[in-house]
Amino acid sequence: MSEVHQVADRADPGRPAPARIYDYLLSGTNNFQADRDAAERITALVPELRDCAWANRGFHQRAAKWIAQRGIRQFIDIGSGLPTVGNTHDVVHQVDPGCRVVYADNDPMVREHATAILDDDERVRVIQGDLRDPGSVLAHPDLRALIDFSQPTGLLMTAVVHFVADESDPWRLLARYTGALAPGSYLALSHLTDDHKPPRAVAEFLRVFDHATEQMHFRSRPDVERLLTGLDLVSPRHPDGGGQLDYAGDWGAEDLGLSDSDGSRWLYCAVARRH
């Protein structure tokens, strides 16, 4: 696999980074040896890690498409990751080419790579922003150029909130973001869990991320549910509310028998609507 040639300011090739580990698990090429080594160390104890990444990506795409099909025409994708197959704008543009998408990620390499691909597209913006700093993200001029906060928005936060420590109060942060959105907006959330997982696998997962640019914070079902306080959980089966947390593969799956997998069960997910 070739090394990445264009390195953004402050990208440290010697330290594994979540965006690049995930890119490697999704068979991308924007990753370094340190990222591949980190992924392989976890895979030694969690052989379903690649499946977990694909289950998450599948949820992200199904959720974005479903939200667009509900009539939402503007999206904010926080912790968007490196450009990959089936990016958010690709998915929602299949529903309506007029959809507007703002990507935000705190990894400088994400902005560099995404900007290189998307610079000419007026419907898409990429900002470098940290989920833990909602004031800066929500006020960013490039975000404001595309997002009209008087209209419903699709907010995507998939596989990112587990990089926020309890001390940063992710529950307050989620309330701040969803509180900024118009009624009728949607949030798509997925979050890694250590519920029912082998302790040695969990310990190795945490150890690997101790040396990464962001640390891992698994959460239990009640703690993930609490991130959705005040919102109605929805899905294709429960479009008007009354849904529940699913495993990543199950949300919006056509066949629940086929969607269940060990990898999927590392991630709780939900789509929730603001009333």
Ligand X SMILES: C[S@@+](CC[C@H](N)C(=O)[O-])C[C@H]1O[C@@H](n2cnc3c(N)ncnc32)[C@H](O)[C@@H]1O
**Which two three-digit tokens encode residue 227?**
């991130």
Q: Please state the closest distance from residue 97 (CB atom) to ligand X, in A.
A: 22
Q: Please state the closest distance from residue 239 (CB atom) to ligand X, in A.
A: 23
Round to whole Å and give the CA distance between 267 and 199: 16
The answer to whether 81 contacts ligand X (rule: CB under 6 A) is yes
User: Closer to ligand X at the Cβ: 81 or 154?
Assistant: 81
Round to whole Å and give the CA distance between 101 and 74: 6
The answer to whether 79 contacts ligand X (rule: CB under 6 A) is yes
The answer to whether 18 contacts ligand X (rule: CB under 6 A) is yes
Q: Which residues ranging from 139 to 168 are in contact with ligand X (CB under 6 A)?
A: 158-160, 163-164
User: Closer to ligand X at the Cβ: 157 or 233?
Assistant: 157
CA dihedral over 252, 258, 262, 263, signed as positive or negative: negative
The answer to whether 131 contacts ligand X (rule: CB under 6 A) is yes
Q: Which of 74, 106, 178, 259 binds ligand X (CB under 6 A)?
A: 106
CB 109 within 8 A of CB 11: yes
The answer to whether 22 contacts ligand X (rule: CB under 6 A) is yes
Draw the binding track, 45-74, toward ligand X (x: CB under 6 A; -: no contact): -----------xx--x--------------
Round to whole Å and give the CA distance between 29 and 80: 17
How far from chain centre, in Å, is Cα 7? Answer: 22
Round to whole Å and give the CA distance between 250 and 243: 12
Task: Tell me which residue has tokens 């913006």.
Answer: 125
The answer to whether 250 contacts ligand X (rule: CB under 6 A) is no
